[in-house]
Amino acid sequence: MPDFRCSFASVEDDEPIIGTAPTDTEILMVECPGPWGREAVTDNRLPEDVRDHLGAQDLKVFLLRRYDGSAGPGTRVFWARATEDGYDVRGTVLDRPEDLLDLDLPGMPAYDGPLWLVCTNGKRDRCCAELGRPIAGLLSQEWPEGTWETTHLGGHRFSGTLLALPSGITLGRLDTSNALAACEAVERGEVPAELVRGRAGRPGVEQVRELHVLAGGDPADEITAVPGPVRRQSCGDDKVKGTTRFELGAR
């Protein structure tokens, strides 16, 4: 199926997107312009010792780059840890990428601006590049400092997909017709119900529970993760994997 597009197949199958946001509670983000390989954290243009350092980290690592290919001066680094309401985000600018090796991540200054991380790694999945890059270009006009292309967020089949920090709100099935309005809503503290995958940093069940309550549901209702259909989840390979769905039942 050379023309297979995982995001189109997911829409055609009416696959639910809620509860699919990343569950990582700690995230390291490092500016890395230029091309990324399929395994981007170790296949990029950073110095070898920095690549080795990132590959050995016991936390989620995203590489970042600007839509227009610009970079510097310096190397921007962000670190985020999940909190009750989203993420505590910290950031700094390094003189050299190698300075990352000794960087005290929690000791970096607090970062107060919005970050819009748009998944665009085409070497991992074609949908992310084809759908994600135009979104990154659009958002960078509104938030030139806060918009970044990023490596694999997870959930290729929900492309275009975006992680918003500090809220942790993760959006899916974005395109250039809805992305700007959705991000403006998130910036206002709203949750765009039709496009939200969940709040990152939480288990899928808790992501679904939050959205259920926001929609007026009873927080005491039981939400259960159950096996979903086995499906091809990426344009990048032919593997099929099981999915997870969430069922709601009153206690």
- pLDDT digits over 44-73, tens only? 999 999 999 999 999 999 999 999 999 889
* C-alpha to C-alpha distances, 105 to 56, 73, 91, 113, nearest whole angstrom: 15, 20, 8, 18
Please report which residue ranges of 42-194 form alpha helices under DSSP H. Answer: 48-55, 126-142, 179-187
The continuous run of DSSP H or E covering 205 comes out as: helix 204-214
Domains of the chain: 6-202 (3.40.30.10)
Residue 134, φ and ψ in degrees, nearest 5: -60, -35
Please report which residue ranges of 42-87 form alpha helices under DSSP H. Answer: 48-55
Q: What is the pLDDT of residue 250?
A: 55
pTM: 0.94
- pLDDT digits over 23-34, tens only? 999 999 999 998
- pLDDT digits over 113-134, tens only? 999 999 998 887 888 889 999 9
Residue ranges of the chain whose pLDDT lies below 50: 1
Cβ partners under 8 Å of residue 206, min gap 6? none
